[in-house]
Amino acid sequence: MSARWEFRLLRLWHAALAGGFLVAYVTADEDTYAMHVFSGYWVVAAILLRLLLALAGSGGGPLALPKPRLTWIRPGRNPLFAWMAVLLLAGMAVAGVSGIAADFIPFVEDLHEGLAEASLWLVLAHAAVIAWIFQGRRVREMLKGSAAALLAVVLLAAPAAFAADAARDAVKAGYARQAGPGFAGFSSERGKALFESRNAASPDYASCTTCHTADPAAEGRHAKTGRAIKPVAVSANPKRFTDVAKVEERFERDCQTVLGRVCSATEKGDYIAYMESK
Amino acid sequence: MKRIILAAALCLAALPARADRVRPVTDPETLAACGECHMAFQPAFLPARSWTRMMGQLSGHFGDNAAMAADKAERIRQVLVAGAADTGGGKAGSKALRGVGQYDTPQRITELPRFAAKHQRIAEREWKRPEVTSKANCPACHKAAEAGLYDDD
């Protein structure tokens, strides 16, 4: 393979990886889960392909993956390029593989989300470094005008990672406030009793366990429609109880259906406490 | 020029796959709200007047309480009405309306004449299988139902 074709292949591969990562990142929401899974596998496959391409390319050519060194043998590339490639490829590979693993081992999901966020920052840093090296002066002039705006964006975007636990705590704190004076903390035992209680309000849904099964960490099934229901336990489904509007809507609807009445703020907090303990 | 011809050829080749497709719901809010308890049925299976009636009585939704904030219900109603059998439902929509009176507001897709005709050969015990549970559980048999494909019988 001539160096020219190797370089074309490299650019094609770069586009495939960058595109796959971008799609995986923006489709991480549950609503677009199928696309997220597909693009995640795509990213992992692209990284494996890169290792194979390195074997197929000529030594020292565009497709070669030079061993990262600490010394700079001039003339030649700055050794930091190789380190950057290692960091990027390893970060994305581990992020991708942990995403696949999270399908089988739920607690890997936190690791996966953390790594994915970190990978995005690596990619942005990578783009900035490359832009700086090859378009330095032009970039510096552009930046002078928009430095303040950039800083604001960075400050706003940074705390987005690991927000799920904080969001759930906020939901619980809201119920603690509503519980008013005399409130003495939520109890996961009371939550368990509520979850397992049998009721007479509706013959089709005698208990929470009718649809959710007796094990909150297991997948449930809607008693009437047969629709699969994701686990309620936080350990099996970390996104549970993080969106106030959704949580309220569900309690309002399901308490009425199963218990035949509204739930008190304390009961709601107890229920969440039980699901966090499972 | 070559590229344009290639792209056109690829589009043509993909046409048969789209022909009998019922346009699925794409609005994330609608997908999440409807899809929580049952499949988010394609709006093309009911006329707009049916959807409007359904979204106006969510606290008694087929015997269950499916109440939601009024503004959310209204947004979802608009999505459903826009894709309904008699508005944006296309060919699948006009087929679904066969045998439905002009002023009828059917609520159960499974009680439409078209549904009955298409499923008359399915034995009662098939519907009762635990993985089916309900006639409304389309994806139990039509694996690609959520993508709008029902041709896999």
3-state secondary structure of A260: coil
Residues on chain B bordering chain A, Cβ-to-Cβ distance under 8 angstroms = 28, 31-32, 35-39, 62-69, 131-134, 136-137, 140
Alpha-carbon distance values, B77 to A65, A105, B21, B43, B72 (Å):
55, 38, 22, 10, 9
Report, as an integer, the average pLDDT of B5-15: 57
> Does the pLDDT value for residue A167 go beyond 90?
no
Residues on chain A bordering chain B, Cβ-to-Cβ distance under 8 angstroms = 29-32, 204, 221-227, 245, 249, 252-253, 256-257
A65 HSE (CA, 13 A, CB side): 17
Q: And the tokens for B95? A: 């087929």
Q: Which residues of A touch B64 (CB under 8 A)?
A: 224, 257
Q: Which residues of B touch A258 (CB under 8 A)?
A: none
The model's confidence at residue B4, banded by pLDDT at 50, 70 and 90, is: low
Closest-CA residue of chain B to A222: B37
Q: What is the pLDDT of residues B65-103, one digit of tens each?
A: 888 889 999 999 999 999 999 998 888 898 899 899 989
| Single-letter code of the amino acid located at A50 | R
Q: What is the pLDDT of residues A183-219, one digit of tens each?
A: 888 999 999 999 999 988 888 899 999 999 999 999 9
What is the distance in angstroms between the Cα of B133 and the nearest Cα belonging to chain A?
Answer: 5
Cross-chain residue pair A256–B65, CB shorter than 8 Å: yes
Alpha-carbon gap, residue A63 to A142, rounded angstroms: 32
A221's enclosing H/E stretch is strand A220-221
How long a stretch of residues is chain B? 153
Q: Which residues of A touch B63 (CB under 8 A)?
A: 204
Q: Cis before residue A62, ω within 30 degrees of 0?
A: no
| Interface predicted TM-score (ipTM) of this complex, two decimals | 0.73
Question: In 3D, which of A16, A41, A42, A46 has the Cα closest to residue A99?
Answer: A41
Q: What is the pLDDT of residue B48?
A: 95
Q: What is the CA radius of gyration of chain B?
A: 17
A221 - beta bridge partners? A228
Enumerate the H helices of chain A as residue ranges.
3-26, 33-56, 80-102, 108-157, 164-179, 188-196, 209-212, 244-258, 265-277
Dihedral sign (CA B98, B99, B105, B108): negative
Q: What is the pLDDT of residues A26-62, one digit of tens each?
A: 988 777 888 999 999 999 999 999 999 888 887 777 7
Q: Which residues of A touch B66 (CB under 8 A)?
A: 253
